[in-house]
Structure formats: C-alpha cells, structure tokens
Amino acid sequence: MKFGTKAVHAGVEPDPLTGAVMTPIYQTSTYAQESPSKHKGYAYARGANPTRDALQKSIAALENGQYGLCFSSGMGATDAVIKLLNPGDEVITSNDLYGGSYRMFKKVYERFGIKFHFIDLTKAENITPLINQKTKLLWIETPSNPLMRIIDIKACVAIAKKNNILVAVDNTFASPYLQSPLLLGADIVMHSVTKYLGGHSDVIMGALALNDAKLRDELFFILNSCGAVPSPNDCFLVLRGIKTLQLRMQRHCSNGRRIAEFLVSHPKVGKVYWPGFPDHPNHEIAKNQMTDFGGMLSFTLKDDSQEKANLLMESVELFTLAESLGGVESLINHPASMTHASIPKEERVKNGLSDSLIRLSVGIEDIEDLIDDLASALEKV
Ligand SMILES: *Cc1c(COP(=O)(O)O)cnc(C)c1O
C-alpha cells in the first residue's frame, strides 16, 4: 500500500463484535477472564487496549515498521528508549535537540549515571572520535528544532552499525510522510504524536516504531512496567487525525514553501531557516532523505532585537502565539523564551539560537491569508 492508503486503512478493521467501521473507544481498565489467566488477549488496560492496538498498527505501517508502541507523550516514548540503557552507558546526540529532550537527558538521566555527548551531528564524522565500549545509543533529531538543520541519517547509521550502536530518530518534525528513518537503517523511530500525527492540537501522545521483535518486547516491558500509556479516547482521536495525514502534510509543505519564499525576499527579514532553499547548508541531504521540506521554518529580523521580535509576535492575528507545532492551525513561537527556555542562554547562543529567532509552524489555512497576516505584522515592526 502507498502512504495515503495506509493512512486511511492500516490497522483499522471493522470491529469483530458489531461490524463498526471505525475502531470503538474501548473505555475500560480491565477485561473479564473465563478462568484465571484465560482471556481474549487482554487482561489489564495498562498492558493492552484494542483502540491502542489499532493505532499502534497504523503508526507502524506509516513508518514502514513491524511494531508500534504508543505512550502518554513524546517524552514518555523517549524516556522508554533511554531506559534500555544502564548506568555508565553513553549516548551521542546533537547539540540543537528539542528542549524537553535536552532537559530529560541532562537533568534526569545524567543523575542516573548515563553520559550524553551533545555534538554537531550534521557532520557524521564527528561521531567517530567519541565512540568507545560504553557507547550504546545514537539519538538523532532531524530536521532540528528550531534551526532546521538536517542530519544525514544514512551516514550516521553506517558509523553506528559498525560499532553495534542502537540508532533512534526523533521523526516528529518530518512526520512519516516526509521521512522514513527505518528504511534508512535506523532501529527506532520516535514521534511526538502530539504534533503532525495527531494534527489537531487536541492530544498529547508519543509513539515508537521499529522492526526488531526482541527490542519491541524490551520496550513493551518498559511501557507496561513504568506505565506511560495513552488513553483509549486519545488513541481514537489520533486514529482519526491520521486519516488525513497525507493531505495535511501536502498543504503544510506547499504553504511552508510559499511563506519561506515570502520571508526571504522581505526587506525587514534577516535569515530564513528552511531546508528547501538551495543555499541551505544541508539542502542536498534534505532532498535525498525527505520527500518534501515540511511546514516548519524559523527566521530572524534584520533589526535583531527581542523587542522587535516580540512586537511581531504580538501583532499577528491568524498565527497563534503558542508552543507546539504540527496542527492544522498556524502557530508562531519564540524558542529562546518558550520551547527552548530550559537550555542555558550560553548554550543556546553558542548553538546559533539567537534571542530574536522566531519559529513558525505553518498550518493548512489559505496561503494568501497567512502571508497577509505576516506582511501586516512586519509592517508594524
Ligand atoms: C514536542 C516534541 C517532543 C516531545 O513530545 P511531547 O508529546 O510534547 O511529550 C519531542 N521531540 C520533538 C521534536 C517535539 O517537537
């Protein structure tokens, strides 16, 4: 099946009991057993729920994987992957990670004796000198947030595989429509389902997709033992959201392109970070590993002050000033004070994340209205 067909059909079968075409919300915490431990495959809903099962199959199919596991948030899914490790183990990851991932690695798991190396992964060769016997995981996020750097997944996988290092990719920004890390050799894909998969800014959820049965069992053991499971109602909402994933992504991409082109030619705009520009430093890699360039972009103002950036963010009317991304509605965000506030300023600036940087999650509205909104806000700056 091709992507759009999978988005509509994968994992979803008419309900065996009634023939209901849409998977019901199995709002139950437990299941009746015929005799002790003799049941229909469902014993207690932390372990399994039919609505969640359907969603896990759908996400696995979209990611070209055998298995899917859903969690109560993207951070819950990331947490499960890190719990595969032991004290003393080392992780190599990038220096412009999602702020919440950075916070978890640095402030939670370093206390548990796991060591993290935050480096520039846009140059895969930077990995090699850090590898030792204790290196167990390579954690990749691409496109990166908010600077839209692109990491060459295949090149990183080649180095990791030679050294028996597990590769996990945070595929949240790309969505499975734009990028398929498992096909590029990654072992695990992580999603903040909250974003494009859910697509309507009404659910917090995370997911993993993968191919290895043993690894799936280990991660399921962690999911069931630690308990970060999603609700059946949220699983239903995401199953519904996924049906339009292809259509939404196509519009996110075409609107994103138009806005990137509008901004880059605007006299008040400084730098525009969007991987679709031929002069973007990682454009060729983006072209190779992604089907399009997505609806996420960032920019600075020529007058590079936080004051002017604030004025712009207060002046837009259609764009909502809010954290998060990937919903049908357009959002505007100030990484330095919002999503990336947990990264110390020194670290932030060192990694190119200036105080005046503005991030857009371009929605699926009519493009003329979005451009008008940005144009009149820029006028006031
Ligand atoms: C939002 C986000 C997360 C965290 O997901 P939650 O669902 O908010 O827990 C992780 N990675 C990226 C890239 C994100 O955008």
Average pLDDT in the chain: 96
Do 159 and 60 share a domain, yes or no?
yes
Do 152 and 12 share a domain, yes or no?
yes
Which range of 44-58, 298-312, 347-361 scores highest in mean pLDDT? It is 44-58
**In the prediction, which pLDDT does 352 show?**
76
For 350, the token pair is 């060192």
Report the pLDDT averaged over residues 83-87: 98
Residues acting as catalytic residues = 46, 98, 170, 195
Ligand 1: distance of its center to the CA of 144 in Å? 12
Index of the ligand 1 atom closest to the CA of residue 77: 9
Do 175 and 280 share a domain, yes or no?
no
**In the prediction, which pLDDT does 187 show?**
98
Cβ < 6 Å from ligand 1: which residues? 73-75, 98, 100-101, 141, 145, 170, 172-173, 192, 194-195, 204, 206
pTM, whole model, 2 decimals?
Answer: 0.96
Q: What's the CA gap between 169 and 15, in Å, rounded? A: 33
Report the pLDDT averaged over residues 257-273: 97
Side chain identity at 107, as an amino acid letter?
Answer: K
Do 127 and 210 share a domain, yes or no?
yes
Report the pLDDT averaged over residues 111-123: 97
Ligand 1: distance of its center to the CA of 228 in Å? 15
- Residue at a domain's end among 242, 258, 278: 242
| H or E stretch covering 114 | none
Ligand 1: distance of its center to the CA of 351 in Å? 20
CB 116, CB 144: distance < 8 Å: no
Do 64 and 166 share a domain, yes or no?
yes
Residues of the chain with pLDDT > 70, as a percent, come to 100
**In the prediction, which pLDDT does 28 show?**
97
Q: Is the confidence at residue 349, as pLDDT, over 80? A: no
Do 277 and 233 share a domain, yes or no?
no
Do 233 and 250 share a domain, yes or no?
no
Residues of the chain with pLDDT > 90, as a percent, come to 90
Q: Among the residues of the chain, which ranges form H helices? A: 3-9, 50-62, 74-82, 99-103, 153-162, 175-178, 213-226, 232-242, 245-264, 283-289, 306-315, 345-350, 367-380
Do 362 and 332 share a domain, yes or no?
yes
Ligand 1: distance of its center to the CA of 233 in Å? 20
In the β-sheet with 296-301, what is the strand arrangement from edge to edge?
Answer: 269-273, 296-301, 358-361, 331-333, 320-321
Do 249 and 222 share a domain, yes or no?
no
Do 43 and 119 share a domain, yes or no?
yes
Ligand 1: distance of its center to the CA of 267 in Å? 33
Confidence of residue 304 (pLDDT cuts 50, 70, 90): confident
Q: Is the confidence at residue 346, as pLDDT, over 90? A: no
Index of the ligand 1 atom closest to the CA of residue 145: 13
- Residue at a domain's end among 200, 224, 242: 242
**In the prediction, which pLDDT does 344 show?**
79
**In the prediction, which pLDDT does 141 show?**
98
Report the pLDDT averaged over residues 70-94: 98
**What residues does 190 pair with on adjacent strands?**
170, 208
Q: Is the confidence at residue 99, as pLDDT, over 90? A: no
- Cα three-residue angle 202-17-72, rounded to 5 degrees: 25
Q: What's the CA gap between 56 and 208, in Å, rounded? A: 9
Measured CA to CA in angstroms, residue 269 lies from 145, 297, 301, 363, 369 at distances of 19, 13, 4, 21, 19
Confidence of residue 356 (pLDDT cuts 50, 70, 90): confident
- Cα three-residue angle 65-68-74, rounded to 5 degrees: 115
Residue 217 belongs to domain with CATH number: 3.40.640.10
**What residues does 189 pair with on adjacent strands?**
169, 209
Q: Which of 98, 145, 202 to mutate to test the pocket of ligand 1 (most atoms within 8 A of CB)?
A: 98
CB 208, CB 71: distance < 8 Å: yes
Higher pLDDT, 231 or 343: 231
**In the prediction, which pLDDT does 345 show?**
81
Do 115 and 213 share a domain, yes or no?
yes
Contacts of 349 (CB under 8 A, 6+ apart): 355
- Residue at a domain's end among 211, 242, 273: 242
Residue 356 belongs to domain with CATH number: 3.90.1150.10
CB 206, CB 52: distance < 8 Å: no
**In the prediction, which pLDDT does 46 show?**
98
Do 268 and 179 share a domain, yes or no?
no
Index of the ligand 1 atom closest to the CA of residue 101: 10
Q: What's the CA gap between 41 and 240, in Å, rounded? A: 25
Whole domain around residue 228: which residue ranges?
3-242
Q: Which of 71, 73, 75, 105 to mutate to test the pocket of ligand 1 (most atoms within 8 A of CB)?
A: 75
Q: What's the CA gap between 286 and 150, in Å, rounded? A: 6
Number of domains, the chain: 2
